[in-house]
Amino acid sequence: MRALVTGGAGFIGSHLIDRLVARGDDVVVIDNLSSGVVAFIQSHLDAGRVDMVEGDICNPDDVGRAMAKDIDCVFHLAANPDIRLGTRITDTDLNQGTVATYNILESMRLNGVKKIAFASSSVVYGEDAPLPTPEDHGPCMPISLYGASKQAGEGLVSSWVGTFGLQAWIFRFANIIGARGTHGVIYDFIHKLKNDPSRLEVLGNGLQEKSYMEVGDCVDGILHVMANADAPLNLYNLGSHDTASVRRIAELVVEVTQCHDARIEYTGGDRGWAGDIPRARLSIQKMLQTGFDVSMNSEDAIRHTATCLLEEIGLE
């Protein structure tokens, strides 16, 4: 199979490519390197297993160049990863999320590409959903601009299935963490301790409680579900069994970095920023019913990630 991975030089995309290459797929990447890192996929580029198109999915011509390479399946992961950015700049998620997803789907139609996996998010459920939240919860009322763009992307994917006969897998991810992470709470905490090992500022009151999934589990889950769910439109939450609080993450990062003298200071308030969802947990029953389970729960994934990122970032 020849796969096109949008955002393939990114955190989740590069782990997905490791799996695709290992199972023998040919891989084309389109990435503008805004948050991606070529080094994450350099070994596959050197081995000739990955063909990289440096381009912007906001530009239909760039998308067309990648899509014309005889693609069987698109893994659409490229997006602005920074949910907080929407509090300052209000058209990033619209352009890099909603419009860019339209560009991908339209280029698939024009090039006769029939399968797509779309990286959506738990944040589409908003903050009033029952916990754990099942896929059939609705109406979904996202409270961030990023969440709105994911919901719009889901709608576009679903409409291309209904109108143009695509087959799609929409994945609503929990918080995905692991090696090569370039953003997120654990990455931020390690950088803060690197700048000042005597204190760790935590946004909010530390009681925010979310579910964390290790990135290897995430990409294994994607490929397992795609091999085992064959409806025209397949919607799956991907997450772990439990949650961890931000307070607990701060304690674990202090422990792993051995910054034992660090004072953990909370900025206060029930959420990290406007549009943040203080409590999130996905129902993973549907994922489990496909026969896939995670290898790590939230706390193991956090400890593992802190250890990997400490090695990658260093404290010196």
Residues with catalytic annotation? 146
Binder to ligand NAD among 75, 125, 160, 173 (CB under 6 A)?
173
DSSP codes of every residue in 6-49: ETTTSHHHHHHHHHHHHTT-EEEEEE--SS--GGGGHHHHHTT-
- Residue 10 vs 204, nearer CB to ligand NAD: 10
Would you count residue 119 as binding ligand NAD (CB under 6 A)? Answer: yes
Binder to ligand NAD among 3, 20, 79, 302 (CB under 6 A)?
79
Longest dimension (CA), the chain: 59
Would you count residue 187 as binding ligand NAD (CB under 6 A)? Answer: no
Segment contacting ligand NAD by CB under 6 A, of 64-72, 73-81, 126-134, 269-277: 73-81
Binder to ligand NAD among 4, 27, 28, 31 (CB under 6 A)?
31
Q: Hey, which residues does 210 pair with through a beta bridge?
A: 244
Segment contacting ligand NAD by CB under 6 A, of 6-14, 132-140, 257-265, 288-296: 6-14
Would you count residue 34 as binding ligand NAD (CB under 6 A)? Answer: yes
CB neighbour burial string for 111-122, b if at least 16 within 10 angstroms, e if fewer: bebbbbbbbbbb
State both tokens at 146: 């990023």
Segment contacting ligand NAD by CB under 6 A, of 31-39, 136-144, 251-259, 277-285: 31-39
Binder to ligand NAD among 38, 58, 229, 233 (CB under 6 A)?
58
Q: What is the rounded CA–CA span in Å between residue 252 and residue 305? A: 10
Q: What is the rounded CA–CA span in Å between residue 311 and residue 190? A: 10
Question: Is residue 261 exposed (0-12), middle (13-18) or buried (19+ Cβ within 10 Å)?
Answer: exposed
Question: E-assigned strands of 77-221?
Answer: 115-121, 167-173, 175-177, 199-202, 209-210, 212-214
3-state secondary structure 85-109: HHHCCCCHHHHHHHHHHHHHHHHHH
Size of the site for ligand NAD (CB under 6 A): 28
Binder to ligand NAD among 19, 35, 245, 248 (CB under 6 A)?
35
Question: E-assigned strands of 37-166?
Answer: 50-54, 73-76, 115-121
Q: Hey, which residues does 213 pair with through a beta bridge?
A: 176
Segment contacting ligand NAD by CB under 6 A, of 156-164, 171-179, 245-253, 265-273: 171-179
The distance of closest approach from Cβ of residue 255 to ligand NAD in the complex, given in angstroms and rounded to an integer, is 22
State both tokens at 274: 């406007």
Would you count residue 92 as binding ligand NAD (CB under 6 A)? Answer: no
Would you count residue 73 as binding ligand NAD (CB under 6 A)? Answer: no
Would you count residue 56 as binding ligand NAD (CB under 6 A)? Answer: yes
Category of 183 on φ-ψ map: left (φ > 0), alpha (ψ -120 to 50) or beta: beta
Would you count residue 78 as binding ligand NAD (CB under 6 A)? Answer: yes
Binder to ligand NAD among 7, 204, 206, 221 (CB under 6 A)?
7
Residues that bind ligand NAD (CB under 6 A): 7, 9-13, 30-36, 56-58, 77-79, 81, 96, 100, 119, 121, 173, 175-176, 182
